[in-house]
Amino acid sequence: MEMLPKMNLKELEDKLAKGNYVLFFTADWCPDCRFIKPAMPEIEQEFSDYTFIQVDRDENIDLCQEMMVMGIPSFIVYENGQEADRFVNKDRKTKKEVEDFLTAVN
């Protein structure tokens, strides 16, 4: 999974202008993030039509605020530069919940 370098919302929107992406917002200190991380490679394989990008909340705190991502782990789907859907809250997410979310977006 690609790691997003520090950037602002305009730079991110330019990066996501073409193609389908899943942004995975996380932080090293977050226990709920550590809970879902082991499932992420399988989720990536299952939804291979998306490019997954990990966003470190602490590295990109300003970006998270601009995007109204107040809880982690969270997921935002972009399709050809447009936000398609988001699964953003502070609750622990299971593999099934993330898969169900991504299936519903498709």
What is the set of active-site residues? 30, 33
Residue with tokens 């550590």: 34
Q: In angstroms, rounded to a whole number, what is the distance separating the alpha carbons of residues 73 and 52?
A: 14
Q: In angstroms, rounded to a whole number, what is the distance separating the alpha carbons of residues 101 and 103?
A: 5
Chain centroid to Cα 63, Å, comes to: 13
Q: In angstroms, rounded to a whole number, what is the distance separating the alpha carbons of residues 85 and 102?
A: 9
